[in-house]
Amino acid sequence: MAFGQWIRAKREEANIMLIDFARDINISPAYWSRIERGFEKAPKDQLIIAACERLGLGTDRAFIEAQRLPPDMQEDISVAVSVYRQFKAHAR
């Protein structure tokens, strides 16, 4: 399922109107509607986090639906890649 479909289902399960939800996370209802309908890609990380907080959801599943790593994992992967590259450079 795409992020937009998934987050819309979660919003509807919480019985929150789109216009109220969008205003609660400080985004235009029109833009959020386009996200939910799949006309826009998943939003920036901070909006995904804000949406999850508003819905009382953990963020891991949301980032999976958005097809990207959560911000903390992005940082961890960056460190791991750097360490790996240093190791490989010294192993030669």
Share of the chain above pLDDT 70, in %: 100
Q: Where are the domains of the chain?
A: 3-91
Positive or negative torsion for Cα 56, 65, 37, 32: positive
Q: Is the pLDDT of residue 76 over 90?
A: no
pTM over 0.75: yes
DSSP assignment string, 25-52 = TTS-HHHHHHHHTTSS----HHHHHHHH
CATH 3.10.105.10 fits 3-91, yes or no: no
Average pLDDT over residues 32-59: 97
pLDDT in tens, 50-66: 999 999 999 999 999 99
